Amino acid sequence: MKKEDVLAAMTPELVASFRTAIEIGKWPDGKS
């Protein structure tokens, strides 16, 4: 997968959950 493909797949929702996962150290659904 190319970097462009990854960036194109980065929806605002995905970015937000990714940022939350980084901040709290786990995913919003509770998986670490």
Q: Which pLDDT score, from 0 to 100, does residue 6 have?
A: 77
What's the whole-number mean pLDDT along residues 7-26? Answer: 83
What's the whole-number mean pLDDT along residues 22-31? Answer: 77
Q: Check pLDDT > 80 for residue 26.
A: no
Report pTM: 0.44
Query: Which residue ranges make up each domain of the chain?
Result: 1-26
Query: What is the rounded average pLDDT for all residues in the chain?
Result: 80
Q: Check pLDDT > 80 for residue 22.
A: yes
- In SS3 terms, 1-32 reads as CCHHHHHHHCCHHHHHHHHHHHHHCCCCCCCC
- Report residue 32's pLDDT band, with 50, 70 and 90 as the boundaries: low
